[in-house]
Each structure stands twice: as structure tokens, then as C-alpha cells.
Structure 1
Amino acid sequence: MRTWGRTVAVIVAVLACVAGAPAAVAVPATTRPCPPVPSVSRPPRPVPPRADPAYPAVGGATLATPGLVTPAGAAAPPPVTAASWLVADLDSGAVLGGCGPHEYATPASVQKLLLAAAMLPILDPQQVVTVTAADLDIEPGSSAVGLAEGGRYRVETLWLGLLLKSGNEAANALARLGGGPDGMPGGIRAMNDHARHLGALRTHAVTPSGLDAPGQFTSAYDLALIARACFADPAFRRYDATLRAVVPPQPALRQKAFEIQNDNQLLYRYRGALGGKTGFTDLARHTYVGAAERHGRRLVAALLGAEVTEQRAWQQGAALLDWGFALPRDASVGRLVRPGELTAPPSPAATPPALAAAGGPVDKAGHRWASPGPLLGTALVVVVVAAGVVLLAWRRAHAPVRRHR
């Protein structure tokens, strides 16, 4: 029977290889507690929602930790004050390391990246928008471009105001415009739908600007997914890397033209900087996303819940980028999932779920898993033939011996 067991194991291995079934690969990594963050007086944090049990470890089991995860043998990451962070490759999707990658946190203005990812592909940059009083209804003292009620601005100007100056009124106008007949609520719903499409399952937007609101969350891993989608868009890259722009005059409102400058210091002070987004609220503390390119390699660093002690948030992001660029190109502790990978629509009712033509098995919840591959038929033939050979050998070995008379 030991021979039979070994033969069965060989059959299973052959089937997995021929059919293209995903194999469990251990990622060499080191995990340990995250360094302590500075003790400061913070507002009470809201209770995060319960994690979706259907997705226990998006991007790899190694990332499902509240602690620090780095490639085995890698140098220690820089001492940042962020409560959670992640460094990833924008092109390959490899996650290079992180601290509590999937831990819930409050986004502040880095949430504007989700607004951009959802709305940039569907809004005409030349369309003229009239700013309303509702657009200007933002928290007093919060970041704003300086748009005027009744002013008429091109969508392109709103994007520049959003990404250079983190304008909350620009965020309201863009969400309202992209929300269709439902206005801003429709825009926020579109943001959440897009987050799920990207695989950012621990992100939920309540405001388009990132101003604090109950039930609003994200994670460092999700921010990296969202940033990857943003930097894949040429329009985003152009807007986000703009150092200064002019907001046109509004003669009817007696408002003169004025210049705005990019608040992201990474663009001015870091070699190869591509851009990113800053954020701060009393609840979220300092949040930051920064991306850069060196030697044909594009990395992104996302950090949440940082305190400014010795370094500002962008400097902590720069330090994490330096650490990532120093790692070998094949270093990895996980990966960023592809858009649509976790939320592909269920197959048509007429198609058996296990053989959905759109590409792989679909479970009862409509989640599509890895495709069996184009050689499934060959694999089945291999199994049938191998099983027949093993059965024949077993019968011969156990057949009664006939004696000649």
C-alpha cells in the first residue's frame, strides 16, 4: 500500500503541474513586532469593522500580521513613527515589506487618491464645472484651493487643486460631478465600488476628501493598491507631478487669477520622485503616500498614523523608499493583487461554475479563483491513464497464483 500511496502522490503532482494549479510557495520573510510609536495624546479611534472572513490574507499569508514583515536577511527598515506602513513595487506588484499592512487606520487626505483612481477615467478634463455652495461646505480651517461659489472651472483645474493643494472643495465638486444623477453620494458609492474592484477590501470612504467621518477606514496595503492604479494613469502622473499651476480668474465674481504650488515636498527634495499625496487630521494624524523611480524601478511607500517628531511624514516616506531601493529586485514578502482579481463577476447561470468560460472556478459568493489553465483536458487524460496503470499493477500484484497441473 505504500507503493500505492506514493503513486497517488505522483498523480496529484502531475495533475497540479499540467493543469496549472497554483502551488503554495513559502515566501522567505522575517516577522516581529513593529517598533513602538511615540506616545502622544490622540483622540479616541473609532472601532474598525470586522474583517471579511472570505479574504483572510489578501496578497499573501505573510502579510496577515499586525507586526513587522521584511524579507529574510534584509537590513532593518528605518525607524519611522507610523503606526502602519508598506513598501511595494508599482510595476511588478511585489510587496517589499511592511508594518501591520492590513491594519485598519484612518486615511485623512490620502483618500483623495481613491477619488482620483475612480473618477479620472470617467471625467472629461475640459468640461466646465460651476462650483456650488455645497461644494464649499468643508470643515473650517481645512485645506482648500480657494475656489469661489459660482465660479466656473475646468475639471483639469479641479484635479490640479485636489492634488497640489489637497483642496477639499475640489474633492466635493469632483465627487458630485462623477456621481451622476445622485451627485456626491453617487460619487462616494463609486469610490467604494472602485476600492473593492482594486482589491482594497479594508477601505471604505464616507467623504470624498478624507475629512474624518464615522466608518471611514483604509490600510497601508490598500493605499498601495490605490496608488498603483493612480500611477498607471498618465493624466494622474502629469497632474500629480506638477509643481505649480494657475487657477484662472473669475471676472463675474471679481476674483483674480492666482497660483498654487504642490505641497508634496518629495517632488522637490527626493531624486526620482514621481509624486504622491499628503494628509493630516487630528484623528488620522499624519498620513502619506510617495512614489519614486530609480534605475528603471518604481516603488511606492504608504504610511498611516505617523507622528512628526524628528521627521515629517514625507521624509519618513523617503526613508522607506531608500530602504526599498536598497533591497534586491527579487525581494518580496507578498504581492499587490490585480484589479478585479478578487471581485470578478460570477459566471453566467448557463455555465457550470467550476468551468466558467471567463477564466476559472467561481465560488458561491461569486469570487473567481485561479484558472485551471488551457491544458485541463490533457490533465484529465493523464489522470485517467495513470489511474488505469496503477489499478492494473495493483490487480496483478494481488491476483491469486494459479498452479499448472
Structure 2
Amino acid sequence: MSPPPAVDTSEQVAPGAKPPVPLPVPENPVGGDRLGECGLVLPANAQKLPDDITARSWLIADMDSGAVLAAYDPHGRQRPASVIKVLLAMVVAKELAPDATIAANADDIAQECTCVGLRNGAEYTVEQLLQALVMASGNDVAHALARRLGGLPSAIRKMNALAAELGALDTRAVTPSGLDAPGTSTSAYDVALIFRAAMKYPDFAKAVVMQRIDFPAASGVGTVPVINDNRLLTTYEGALGGKSGFTDDAQHTYVGAAERGGRRLVVVMLRGQQQPVRITDQAASLLDYGFDLASAEPVGRLVDGAPQARKKTLEPKPTPTSAAVGEVADSRNTQHNAMTTAFGNVGGPITAVAGLGVVLAFVMYLRNRRAKAARAARAAQQSN
């Protein structure tokens, strides 16, 4: 229901404040019943898993069909670290124009790093910051982009609203960068869901696969290289990009994708270790394993949006008419049919009686007026 206890003070709440309660657990596991299992979730007759996987939660899925091929504790809640920047990047790609500008300020520069190196008062395009966010995981950049989205509270609300819209119900962003804070949460299933959706945005898909860009130097003179920190870009054939993260509480996290033989797979690893091999090498092993599961029966699926309650709809009732298609209905028939519908057979006589009453009342009104006029005339003669 919630990540393991923190190992440092990053998630201590302010004195007198209550810690956030865990997110609700859906009655039915999102993506299928088997994805509610807490251990290995494998198809029948699956081959042996690689030996070097250290992640406490992981998942492999087909990016296009959404089929979940294999997983371990897929809805187990862990901390995201910097993989939550994928969610921030998607909000940015959705709302901000690439050529829009953002001026860095002192709060951006004061963020706990990893940082790209912004200069106070310098202006950057959204495209530059989005690329630096994804490639080099700049916390200063994340803060600047969050400000541009209306401020940190607004950016966090937008991130969580988008996660809920996608069906990522294990996810709660508390910081835009993924730095640990009370209540932060995600799952391997959710990260795959979010990454799959983010790859549909061209600005994100372009940024996540770039190996190097020239970024304005913090000194204000010239540029400095920003190198993509995703090792699989240069070591795994068909790599489509990815994002790694680390905090003391989250440990090592990773999401990445690759294409082989016309199939695109995404792999997610949460709460992993760098031993006995790097987390990216472990991800490569899981991708190989997933590509070998081509004919296996899926164990679940990545949903295409949060389950929505069906709205009750009424079939529109066309105006009764005998006109053929393309003809104009006779308005007299339409009026007659509408009256019939409103009053029916019984209502006809009632309507007639009501009409007669109106006529009689009008006649009496005229008689009274004439009588008053006659009395007024007699009174005038007598006064003369």
C-alpha cells in the first residue's frame, strides 16, 4: 500500500502536521487480476529469468499492444526518484510551446542537485529545458519548468491529474523532480503506463533519444555539453530512450524502451541495486527476456485510460414526421403530432371545454364594460 520506511529525514512532516495517508487500493487491480499478485507474474511455461535482477518491483510490456509480458510485484508501491520526471515532461510537452521562454531564478539554482547549471536571470526555451530535464535529470530545470506551469503546487496538481487520467492509480507526485517527500509513490505498472503515454509526444520522444546537446553555460559565456545519462542508448541495439533515477530512499530506478523485429518493449525497474551489475545492464537482460516471450500469453495489459463510470445516455427522439430522407416535413403534421403526443385522446375533450370557458369569460367581460359605459352616460345626463 505504501513504500518501505524512509532511511533518512527527507520524508519527515512538519511539527503538528499529519503524514499523508497511502493512496486507495483499487478493488480490482488495474490491468488485470494477475497484476495484483505480489511476487513473480509469468506466463505458463516461461523460461528461467536472468539471475542478476535486483529490483523489488519490475515489469516488461509491449509498448504498442499494451500487453504485459512479465512482472514482479507490478503494483507494489515504491518511490520513483527521477523517473517521475517523465510525468513532468509529459505535462510540459502537453501544455507549453517548445519556443516559449523561461527565465531562471535563484530558487531554481538553489535546488538539491543533480543540476544542469542554470544562470540566474538567463532565459531558456522550453525545448532546451525539456531536453536537459530528460537527458541529464536536472533538478534545477525541473523547478524552472514547474514554475512555468503555474508554480510548484499547480505543476504537482497537473502531474497527479494526468497520472489519474492515465490510470496510474499508485502514483502520487509530491515534488516535480522526484526528490523524496512525504507521500510520494508509484509502481512499476504505473511507470510503464506513463512512459508509454509520454512517448506519444514528439517533443519527449525526441528528447529521450538524444545523446548530446549544447546547453548555455552557467557562466554566461558559450555552451557546455549535456550528455544523456541513459547508458542503454549506446550499448543496447534498438534503444529508444529511457530515464534513470536515484535517492537514498528510492534506491535505483529505471524505465527504458527498445525496438526489435518490429516490436517495441518497455521495461521498468524500481528499488534496484547497482550490484552485481549496473541497473541498466539488468534492464537490458529483462528486455532480452521480454523479446524472447513473443508468443507467450500476456499476464495483463497496460490500460488506455482510467476506468470511467458509464454515463447514462438517452436516445435522441426525432420529431415525428412522415417526410422521407432529404424532404422537409409538413409543419402542420408536425404540430398535430406534437399536440397528439402532449394531450392524447383523453386530453382532446378537456382542451375543448377549456377553450369554451375562455370564450364565455370574454363575452361576460364585454357585457360588463357596456353596462359600466351605460351607467356612466346616465350619470352624466342627470348632472346636466
What's the counterpart of residue 213 of structure 1?
181
Q: What are the Cα deviations for residues 97-142 of structure 1, in whole angstroms up to 9, with x where unaligned?
A: 1110000101100010111122211111101110111222312xx2
The whole-number CA distance in structure 1 between the counterparts of 2:181 and 2:94 is 26
What's the counterpart of residue 70 of structure 2?
97
- Cα drift, residue 313 of structure 1: 1.1
Decide which of 155, 160, 174 is 2:131's aligned counterpart. 160
Matched, 1:200 2:168: yes
Structure-2-length-normalised TM-score = 0.75
**Identity within the alignment, %:** 47
Q: Which runs of 5+ in 1 are unaligned?
A: 1-40, 348-352, 358-405
Q: Please provide the CA RMSD for this pair.
A: 2.1
- Cα drift, residue 50 of structure 1: 3.9
What's the counterpart of residue 226 of structure 2?
260
Given that 1:280 and 1:286 are in contact with CA atoms closer than 8 Å, whether structure 2 keeps it comes out as yes
Matched, 1:285 2:251: yes
The structure-2 alpha-carbon separation of the partners of 1:174 and 1:55, relative to structure 1 and needing over 3 Å to count, comes to: farther
Decide which of 266, 283, 294 is 1:300's aligned counterpart. 266
The structure-2 alpha-carbon separation of the partners of 1:206 and 1:249, relative to structure 1 and needing over 3 Å to count, comes to: same
What's the counterpart of residue 270 of structure 1?
236
Decide which of 14, 22, 34 is 1:62's aligned counterpart. 34
Give secondary structure in 2 for the equivalent of 1:218. Answer: coil
Give secondary structure in 1 for the equivalent of 2:303. Answer: coil
What's the counterpart of residue 247 of structure 1?
215
The whole-number CA distance in structure 2 between the counterparts of 1:166 and 1:193 is 22
Superposition pairs for residues 3-402 of structure 1, below 5 Å? 49-79=21-51, 80-139=53-112, 142-179=113-150, 183-248=151-216, 254-329=220-295, 331-339=297-305, 341-343=306-308, 347=311, 353=312, 355=313
The structure-2 alpha-carbon separation of the partners of 1:230 and 1:147, relative to structure 1 and needing over 3 Å to count, comes to: same
Q: What are the Cα deviations for residues 146-172 of structure 1, in whole angstroms up to 9, with x where unaligned?
A: 111111111111011101110001111
What amino acid is aligned across from residue 162 of structure 1 in structure 2? Answer: L
Given that 1:290 and 1:318 are in contact with CA atoms closer than 8 Å, whether structure 2 keeps it comes out as no
The whole-number CA distance in structure 1 between the counterparts of 2:56 and 2:20 is 15
Give secondary structure in 1 for the equivalent of 2:106. Answer: coil
Give secondary structure in 2 for the equivalent of 1:85. Answer: strand
Q: What are the Cα deviations for residues 293-348 of structure 1, in whole angstroms up to 9, with x where unaligned?
A: 00110000001000111211111111110100011245300001112x4246x74x
Given that 1:71 and 1:333 are in contact with CA atoms closer than 8 Å, whether structure 2 keeps it comes out as yes
Structure-1-length-normalised TM-score = 0.71
The whole-number CA distance in structure 2 between the counterparts of 1:274 and 1:64 is 29
Give secondary structure in 2 for the equivalent of 1:120. Answer: helix
Number of equivalent positions: 302
What amino acid is aligned across from residue 196 of structure 1 in structure 2? Answer: A
What amino acid is aligned across from residue 194 of structure 2 in structure 1? Answer: I
What's the counterpart of residue 360 of structure 2?
none
- Cα drift, residue 52 of structure 1: 2.6
- Cα drift, residue 55 of structure 1: 4.0
Q: What are the Cα deviations for residues 222-279 of structure 1, in whole angstroms up to 9, with x where unaligned?
A: 00000101112222111110000011357xx643311111110000100000001010
Q: What are the Cα deviations for residues 33-68 of structure 1, in whole angstroms up to 9, with x where unaligned?
A: xxxxxxxx9559979944535443110000101111
Given that 2:133 and 2:141 are in contact with CA atoms closer than 8 Å, whether structure 1 keeps it comes out as yes
The structure-2 alpha-carbon separation of the partners of 1:249 and 1:321, relative to structure 1 and needing over 3 Å to count, comes to: same
Give secondary structure in 2 for the equivalent of 1:121. Answer: helix
Given that 2:99 and 2:126 are in contact with CA atoms closer than 8 Å, whether structure 1 keeps it comes out as yes
